Chain A
Amino acid sequence: MHTVLSSASKQVIIGDDQPFCIIGERINPTGRKVFQEQLRAGDLSAIETDVAAQVAGGAMVLDVNMGVPLTDEAELLANAVKLVQSLTDTPLCIDSSVVEALEAGLGAYEGKALVNSVTVEDERMDLILPLVKRHNAAIIALPNDEFEIPIDPARRLELTKKFVDLATTKYGIPIEDIVIDPLAMPIGADSLHADRTMEAISMIRDQVGVNMTLGASNVSFGMPDRHTLNAVFIPMAMRAGLTSAIMDARTPQVVTAVKGADLMLGHDEWGAAWIQQHRAKQAAAATG
């Protein structure tokens, strides 16, 4: 299954026979006070630094979230999308829980975007999926409904099936444009959270076969040495069937772990990318 995203001039494919798709997570003001204040004042300059760092770090898609309370999120997101597209040809993931913001972001976007996200709630699907269809975008769906965020992997599979069925039949979204986020939860809150997520991933891979992504950094919330935990978790989830993750592409430890996992899982023939990355590092060290 191939989920194809694009900007005006570049295409990225998410798929189980492709190198893992790294979606950079940093263009997001949640928990960043200075960035929030800048955005509230209409100052988007910090985005330039974030874009450059993520792309240099290996991001293949960039998540853009402008969820600043007490602002016009729609206008902000549309402006941010335009700005990011002027800085890079990396396709974007347009991220908001505000439908008007998604609409404005998609309207401003050139290419085929990924939308983050919809839940398996009738009301949300009714608002978001026609928009996704109209803009010919791809959509990330979270397998939670209006009652709960399910802990049980079987329930996450059930909601995934329900979503895929409704999205393809009722809303006419092609199955390859559906990316499921099987929910990464903090390992610090429950020692079985990561295992359950990986079980959900393998069930969805085997029984539905769609592409999947995760807000992978969630897994290490509240723990020391988060980078190591993320670098361990993502390759394990990849083995279970995860094909992309929303993650911090500025962290070499995590990105390198993903590249190593690509090689181990047969997505880097003869280790060409791995070796090339090694040479690039050597060259950088020699000139640096």
Chain B
Amino acid sequence: MTPEEILKGLFDETLVGNAPAVLELTNAGLGMGMGPETLLFEALIPSLEEVGARFERGDFFVPEMLIAGRAMSGALEVLRPLLAATGAETVGKFLMGTVKGDVHDIGKNLVNIMLEGAGFEVIDLGVQVAPEKFVAAIEEHSPDIVGFSAFLTTTMPMFKANINALEKAGLRDKVIVMVGGAPVTQEYADAVGADGYAADASTAVRRAKELLKNRRALAKA
């Protein structure tokens, strides 16, 4: 196989969620001497972007998004240590959790899968995550973005409580805050002082990338 065939194969097989083929092609590409960042940025990430675009258009459905993400994760397990060794700039680190008082996680897990698919390193703190736990995890992992998920109108006020806790710990300016969940709206996200909100998993990834890009541009300026 030529490098072009590897890249095309990776793109196509990721798109249909064929995890064994994606893993095989990843190993084959590395065996041929292709760089891990080439495989990631020229095949895997574009494929997941296509999955996201099709999902937003209504041409792709939740299970297709899930299996594509899973196929990508398999390849990432192989690529991540190699990428770390090359010192290439990572897409970003995303710390995620369902807020205190709330145990819903289906939507959050979907967002995680799409974020990983976009190349983010995702650290998931699970459900019932108290403000102090978010603070401790931000100090430990220094993520670029922290995501708060809530499914209930009664647990949404934890967004504000979390943001207050970040401010108190002197971390608010060090991390981008995104919020989401079924009852959450853009207005609500604005009202609590979050940096970003998205209504679905695919949009969340796009928004995360935009926010991160703006932040990095500002940091360089």
Chain A residues proximal to chain B, CB less than 8 Å: 30-31, 33, 36, 67, 69-70, 73, 96-98, 144-149, 185-186, 188-189, 191, 221-224
- Supposing A146-B128, A188-B62, A222-B62 touch, asked if A69 and B103 sit within 8 A by C-beta, the answer is no
CB distance from A155 to the nearest CB of B (A): 13
Partner of B153, one of A67, A149, A188: A67
CB distance from B78 to the nearest CB of A (A): 26
- Contacting pair A70 B127 (CB below 8 A): no
Report the bound CA distance from A31 to B185 in whole Å.
Answer: 8
- Contacting pair A148 B188 (CB below 8 A): no
Give me the 5 closest cross-chain CB pairs, A-B, nearest first: A222-B62, A188-B62, A97-B154, A69-B188, A67-B153
Report the bound CA distance from A131 to B189 in whole Å.
Answer: 32
Residues of B within 8 A of A221 (CB): 62
- Supposing A31-B182, A67-B183 touch, asked if A98 and B153 sit within 8 A by C-beta, the answer is yes
- Contacting pair A36 B185 (CB below 8 A): yes
- Contacting pair B191 A70 (CB below 8 A): yes
CB distance from B106 to the nearest CB of A (A): 5
Q: Is B31 on the interface with A (CB-CB < 8 A)?
A: no
- Contacting pair B153 A189 (CB below 8 A): no
Q: Is B123 on the interface with A (CB-CB < 8 A)?
A: no
* Chain A: CB-nearest residue to B59: A224
Q: Is B184 on the interface with A (CB-CB < 8 A)?
A: yes
- Contacting pair A69 B106 (CB below 8 A): no
Q: Is B30 on the interface with A (CB-CB < 8 A)?
A: no
- Contacting pair A147 B128 (CB below 8 A): yes
Report the bound CA distance from A186 to B62 in whole Å.
Answer: 9
- Contacting pair B183 A30 (CB below 8 A): yes
Report the bound CA distance from A185 to B106 in whole Å.
Answer: 9
